[in-house]
């Protein structure tokens, strides 16, 4: 389908206990936000392997959003801290690869923060719209981490 306006594609990894529920709450509260993101549910943000993020970018995502519980609130005590540590390492690597910071975001969104889902998704969509498409797959060869060929 031809699109006049560039619509970024965002892949989201939401933890089952906080951010996924926050997105459910946004739904129950009928908050409207941009349909640019598709959520993949994981039990904990600690499960998000950097390979998932690289894979998504390689397969055409313009941005990746990771959502976890607030620090200290992890359902599994500290999985979100692990996610944060890994995310920081990944950020440095993405910088080296020339991928803009705003393309991969880690957000703490508790189950009560439905409206934060809306604001985060909308602001990220805006940011990516301003950045334009990533087209990482055509810009360079897939990184080693991206397993599957299209």
Partner 1 sequence: MSEHKSDIRTGVYVCHCGTNIASVVDVREAARHAASLPGVEISREYKYLCSEPGQALIRQDILERGLNRIVVAACSPHLHEETFRTAAAAAQLNPFHVQMINIREHNSWVHEDKARASRKAEKLIRAAVRRVAHHKPLERVRVPINPAVLVVGGGIAGIHAALTVANAGRQVYLVEREPSIGGHMAMFDKTFPTLDCAACILTPKMSAVKAHPNIKLWTHSDVTDVQGYVGNYRVKVTRWPRMVREELCSGCLECVAACVFKEAKVPDEFNFGLSKRKPIYIPFPQAVPQVPLIDMENCIQFRTGKCKKACAQACGDRKAIDFQQGEEIKEVDVGTIIVATGSKTFDAERAAYYGYGTYPNVYTSLEIERLVNACGPTAGRVVLRNGETPKSVAIIHCVGSRDENTNRWCSRVCCMYSLKLAHLLKEHTGAEVFNFYIDMRTPGKGFEEFYQKLLNEGVHFVRGRVAEVTEWALDQSEEGKLVLRVEDTLLGLVRRIPVDMVVLSVGMEPHADASEVRRLFNITCSSEGFFLERHPKLAPVNTFTDGIFLAGSCQGPKDIPDTVAQAGAAAAEALALIGAGYMEQEPNAAYVVEDHCSGCGACSALCPYSAITLDAGARRSSIHPVLCKGCGTCVAACPSGAIRQNLFEDEQIFEEITGVLTHG
Q: Which residues bind partner 1 (CB under 8 A)?
A: 1, 7, 9, 11, 17-18, 20-21, 23-24, 26-28, 30-35, 38-44, 46-52, 55-56, 59-61, 72-73, 75-79, 82-83, 86, 110-113, 118, 147-148, 150
In the complex, the smallest distance separating the C-beta of residue 141 from partner 1, rounded to whole angstroms, is 18
CB of 7 or CB of 127, closer to partner 1:
7
Smaller CB distance to partner 1: residue 72 or 132? Answer: 72
- Alpha carbons 15 and 130: distance in angstroms, whole number: 28
Handedness of CA 40, 16, 24, 32 (dihedral sign): negative
Is residue 121 a contact partner of residue 111, using CB atoms and an 8 Å limit?
Answer: no
Beta pairing partners, 63? 10
- Considering the complex, what minimum distance in angstroms separates the CB of residue 134 from partner 1? 11
Classified as helix, coil or strand, 46 is helix
Q: CB 97 → partner 1: shortest distance, Å?
A: 18
With respect to partner 1, which residue has the nearer C-beta, 70 or 101?
A: 70
The angle, 0 to 180 degrees and rounded to 10, between the axes of the packed helices 19-28 and 114-131 is 100
Rounded least distance, CB 23 to partner 1, Å:
6
Nearer to partner 1, 31 or 131 (CB): 31
Among 63, 68, 45, 38, smallest CA distance to 53 is for 63
């Amino acid at each position: 389908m031809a699109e006049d306006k560039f619509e970024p594609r965002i892949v989201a990894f939401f933890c089952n206990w906080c951010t996924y529920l926050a997105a459910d709450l946004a739904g129950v509260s009928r908050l409207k936000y941009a349909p640019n993101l598709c959520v993949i549910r994981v039990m904990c943000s600690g499960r998000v392997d950097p390979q998932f993020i690289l894979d998504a970018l390689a397969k055409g995502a313009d941005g990746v959003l990771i959502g976890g519980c607030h620090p200290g609130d992890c359902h599994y005590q500290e999985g979100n801290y692990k996610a944060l540590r890994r995310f920081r390492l990944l950020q440095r690597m993405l910088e080296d690869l020339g991928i803009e910071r705003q393309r991969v975001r880690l957000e703490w969104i508790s189950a009560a923060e439905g409206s934060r889902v809306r604001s985060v998704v909308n602001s990220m969509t805006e940011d990516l719209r301003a950045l334009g498409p990533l087209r990482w797959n055509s810009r360079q060869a897939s990184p080693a981490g991206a397993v599957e060929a299209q």
